[in-house]
A and B are shown apart, each in its own frame.
Chain A
Amino acid sequence: MSKTITIDGLTVPFREGQTIMDAALSAGVYIPHLCHNPEFKPHGSCKLCTVNVNGRNVASCTLPAVEGQQVLSDIAELNAERLALTQMLFVEGNHLCPACEKSGNCQLQAVAYYLGMMSPHYNHFYPQREADASHPDVMLDRNRCIYCELCVRASREVDGKNVFGLSGRGIKTILAVNSASGLLGDTDLAVTDKAVQVCPTGAILVKRRGFTVPIGQRVFDHLTIKDLQTGGGHE
Chain B
Amino acid sequence: MQQFEFSDISRMLTPIFARHDVDASRLLQVLLEVQDACHFIPSEAIDQIAAHFDVPRVNVEGVAGFYSFLSTRPVGEYRILFSDNITDQMLGKDELMLYLCNKLWVEPGKVSEDGLVSVASTSCTGLCDQGPAALVNGWPLTNLDRNRLDLIAELIRSRKPVADWPPMLFEVADNIRRSDVLLGQPFEPGAAMRATLARGAKETLAEVDKSNLRGRGGAGFKTASKWSFCHAAIVEEEGSMICDVGGHPERYIVCNADEGEPGTFKDRVLLNSYADLVFEGMTVGARVVGASKGFLYLRGEYRYLLKQLESVLQKRREAGLLGDAILGRADFSFDIEIHLGAGAYICGEESALIESLEGRRGRPRNRPPFPVTHGYKGRPTVVDNVETFACVAKIAERGGAWFAAMGTAQSTGTKLLSISGDCATPGIYEYPFGVTVRQILADCGAREPYAVQVSGPSGTLISWKEFDRRIAFEDLPTAGAFMVFQRKRDMFQTARNFVHFFAHESCGFCTPCRVGTELQKKIMDKIASGHGTASDLEEMKSLGHILKTMSHCGLGSSAANPVLDTLEKFPDVYVRKLKALAFEPAFDLDGALETARKMTGRDDDWAHL
Contact = CB atoms under 8 A, between A and B. Distances in A.
Given A44-B552, A166-B361, A167-B66, A176 B47 contact: no
B516 A88 contact: yes
Interface in B110-152: none
Contacts of B344: 169
Interface in A119-167: 122-123, 125, 146-147, 162-167
A89 B550 CA distance: 14
A173 B518 CA distance: 12
Interface string A166-187: 1111111110111110000000
B504 interface: yes
Interface string B51-91: 00000111101101111100000000000000000000000
A122 B368 CA distance: 33
Interface stretch (A22-30, A45-53, A210-218): A45-53
A45 B509 contact: yes
B366 A42 contact: yes
Contacts of A176: 58, 61-62, 65
A107 interface: no
Interface stretch (A9-17, A57-65, A191-199): A57-65
Contact of B62 (A59, A163, A167): A167
A190 interface: no
Residue in A48, A62, A64, A163 with the greatest tally of chain B CB atoms within 10 Å? A62
Contacts of B519: 88, 122
Given A176-B58, A180-B47, A171 B510 contact: no
B517 A164 contact: no
A117 interface: no
Contact of B503 (A45, A92, A170): A170
Contact of B59 (A44, A59, A88, A165): A165
A146 B551 CA distance: 16
B606 interface: no
A85 B550 contact: yes
Interface in B581-597: 586-587
B43 interface: yes
Contacts of A166: 62, 361, 508
B512 A88 contact: yes
A57 B368 CA distance: 14
A57 B549 contact: yes
A46 B515 CA distance: 11
Contacts of B266: none
Contact of B508 (A84, A173, A178): A173
B175 interface: no
A81 interface: yes
B552 A169 contact: no
B273 interface: no
A170 B508 contact: yes
Nearest to B64: A167
Given A165-B61, A178-B58, A85 B512 contact: yes
B546 interface: yes
User: Which range contains the number of A residues in contact with the other chain?
Assistant: 35 or more
A100 interface: no
A219 interface: no
B542 interface: yes
Given A47-B552, A179-B57, A167 B511 contact: no
A88 B511 contact: yes
B508 A167 contact: no
A174 B43 CA distance: 17
B65 A174 contact: yes
Nearest to B543: A84
A165 B511 contact: no
B527 to A, nearest CB: 14
A91 interface: yes
B511 A46 contact: yes
Given A42-B366, A45-B552, A178 B361 contact: no
B550 A81 contact: yes
A107 to B, nearest CB: 14
Contacts of B394: none
B343 to A, nearest CB: 10
Nearest to A173: B508
B549 A81 contact: yes
B58 A165 contact: yes
Contact of A147 (B62, B68, B508): B508
Contacts of B214: none
A123 B507 contact: no
Contacts of A122: 519
A162 B587 CA distance: 40
A100 B508 CA distance: 25
Contacts of A163: 58
A44 B488 CA distance: 44
B514 A170 contact: yes
B27 to A, nearest CB: 13
Contact of A167 (B56, B65, B551, B586): B65
A48 B511 CA distance: 9
B384 interface: no
A60 to B, nearest CB: 12
A75 to B, nearest CB: 13
Contacts of B366: 42, 44, 59, 62
Nearest to A89: B511
Interface in A28-44: 42, 44
Contacts of B264: none
Nearest to B66: A169
A50 B545 CA distance: 14
A59 B64 CA distance: 29
B46 interface: yes
Given A122-B519, A165-B56, A169-B65, A47 B368 contact: no
B470 interface: no
A170 B43 CA distance: 22
B522 interface: yes
Contacts of A91: 515
A162 B59 contact: yes
Given A50-B550, A81-B549, A64 B368 contact: yes
B209 interface: no
A48 to B, nearest CB: 8
A174 B518 CA distance: 15
Contacts of B62: 165-167, 176
B506 interface: yes
Contacts of A45: 509-511, 552
A168 B515 contact: no
A83 to B, nearest CB: 10
Contacts of B67: 169
Interface in B488-540: 503-512, 514-519, 522
Nearest to A171: B518
25 contacts: A42-B366, A44-B366, A44-B552, A45-B552, A81-B545, A92-B514, A123-B586, A146-B511, A147-B514, A162-B59, A165-B61, A166-B361, A167-B58, A167-B62, A169-B65, A169-B507, A169-B508, A170-B503, A170-B506, A170-B508, A170-B518, A171-B506, A171-B517, A172-B508, A180-B47
Given A47-B512, A167-B65, 13 more contacts: A48-B511, A81-B549, A92-B518, A162-B56, A163-B58, A165-B56, A166-B361, A168-B65, A169-B67, A170-B505, A170-B506, A178-B57, A180-B57
Counting from the closest, the 9 A-B pairs by CB-CB distance are A167-B65, A165-B58, A162-B56, A88-B515, A173-B508, A178-B58, A170-B506, A171-B518, A170-B508
Interface of A: 42, 44-48, 50, 57, 59, 62, 64, 81, 84-85, 88-89, 91-92, 122-123, 125, 146-147, 162-174, 176-180
